[in-house]
Structure 1
């Protein structure tokens, strides 16, 4: 049996569906749909030099990789590659071949530091170590039984505070872009990110096929967006893609308000399961999620390999 690595064929629905299925089996705590896979491949900024790869054995897709440069970071030479293999197709060489192919591409594009998320399990961690990657921070996947969760009531809003949805900004989403840019800059990460390209944000984030604008909640204070909770849905499951508050308004419970309102809307819309992820260093958000009833269901560990 021979394993080969090639680029994902974005114009082949069966190929894209196989990619999404392998991802779902490997990491079921993230929403993977064929539409989202194609969107990421097509709309990632050209400066990222991104690729989506598949490992194929006798015509079956058994492994996947997404890779690219961190083009929106102020520090050049940083890159990412995330490899996931079908859980029943380990030890066939797919993971190693995907890593080598990705590293060759990224090195050729000028990458000097490679970051990768690795599932927190003995086999996964040993694989990363064998390929020269060192452990860094960790991030938890969390799940909430939304159908039975004892969600707190919203109560009366403080003076000057109102709740809106992303749908309210359909005609002019720039205020949501500015809120996203302000909050992501403070998110715990190995790679600093700066959102400066509004058109790229529109293509990659605002028009993402999983973005649910009706469930994405924006907290407005004195007429200006101050906090939000971004909702992604795939028709059956709900996931929080981002929750944040601008620095000047933190410590007032606005993120908690945004997420609670979004979850209540999601349950009213018929969703019964809610997923999210949190960096282990993000104490305030972990506390909010614990307060809402989320439970940790898996962990990934960030790894890095420095080149030359």
Structure 2
């Protein structure tokens, strides 16, 4: 089997979605999102999507670029997925080698990669020189099953959709930036570019501002539950969190409960979320909602020097 690696083209989108859905089903994406992301990634990320073609069809995909939001220079990423029926035939190797060569050309010092948590994938990553760092779980919730009732909203708190801030989303950006800074990560991220956030997060085609819920105090968003959907039957939590000074009041859980109820009322049937394996409090919260772990990935690191 001859494998050819090349840049992603818009007409590859459906095939790439098939690769991702078969390789890691909990990952929510659409063909529209694949094209949009390839065209709207910040220039500083030097982002590129590579595809592997064999026998006239796309059978693998790799996202690679610089972790431009990381406070540590030199960090980069290589995230590769291969259709399960084409694994073990050199597809992943061809993609990873092409991505690593490009990153070295960009001056990257180290590559981080999310690797599927099965023994075969982990062994392959080890042979490629990638060392395991931390794990993260995908969790699934059946939205057709009973949901926890919506708790009483505390005095002084208002639950609103993100659409309330469409004319001026900056308060939502400031909340997102504060929560992102506290997320467990071995790379870290600093959201400090409002224009970039408007383009790549607020404007993402899978983001649902109608289903997303904000907890607002004195006109200021202090907790939120952001959500992405495939527009058909599935949703995924994009981010859930609370400003530090408002934590311990159940506001993030309140916002998430409201979001799940709205999603079910809109006809969605499955909800997915992701948690760092070491984030015990958030895992406990999601288990109380009824989420169950359905897949695991392990973050790996390879020094490129």
TM-score > 0.5, shorter chain as reference: yes
The 5 A counterparts of 1:207-286 are 207-235=203-231, 236-286=233-283
Shift in Å at residue 254 of structure 1? 0.9
- Counterpart position of 1:176: 172
Shift in Å at residue 248 of structure 1? 1.0
The unaligned stretches of length 5 or more in structure 1 are none
Alignment of 1:155 with 2:167, yes or no, is: no
- Counterpart position of 1:77: 74
Q: Return the alpha-carbon distance in structure 1 between the equivalents of residues 197 and 173 of structure 2.
A: 7
The unaligned stretches of length 5 or more in structure 2 are none
Matched residue SS, 1:5: strand
Q: Return the alpha-carbon distance in structure 1 between the equivalents of residues 252 and 157 of structure 2.
A: 13
Pick from 113, 127, 130 the counterpart of residue 130 of structure 1: 127
Pick from 263, 272, 292 the counterpart of residue 295 of structure 1: 292
Contact 2:151 2:254 in 1 (8 A): no
Report the TM-score, using the length of structure 1 for normalisation.
0.97
Alignment of 1:98 with 2:95, yes or no, is: yes
- Counterpart position of 2:182: 186
Deviations 1:185-229 (A, max 9, x none): 000011111111111101100110000111000011232111101
Matched residue SS, 1:88: helix
Contact 2:157 2:217 in 1 (8 A): yes
More moved, 276-285 vs 133-142: 276-285
Q: Return the alpha-carbon distance in structure 2 between the equivalents of residues 281 and 219 of structure 1.
A: 26
Q: Return the alpha-carbon distance in structure 2 between the equivalents of residues 30 and 9 of structure 1.
A: 21
- Counterpart position of 1:3: 3
Deviations 1:258-301 (A, max 9, x none): 11010011111111111111111112211110110100111000
Alignment of 1:202 with 2:185, yes or no, is: no
Contact 2:225 2:259 in 1 (8 A): yes
Q: Return the alpha-carbon distance in structure 1 between the equivalents of residues 137 and 238 of structure 2.
A: 13
Deviations 1:6-30 (A, max 9, x none): 00013x2xx1111111111111101
Q: Return the alpha-carbon distance in structure 2 between the equivalents of residues 224 and 24 of structure 1.
A: 38
Pick from 89, 95, 104 the counterpart of residue 86 of structure 2: 89
Q: Return the alpha-carbon distance in structure 2 between the equivalents of residues 237 and 157 of structure 1.
A: 27
- Counterpart position of 2:56: 59
Q: Return the alpha-carbon distance in structure 1 between the equivalents of residues 207 and 199 of structure 2.
A: 12
- Counterpart position of 1:16: 13
Q: Return the alpha-carbon distance in structure 1 between the equivalents of residues 74 and 272 of structure 2.
A: 32
Shift in Å at residue 155 of structure 1? 3.3
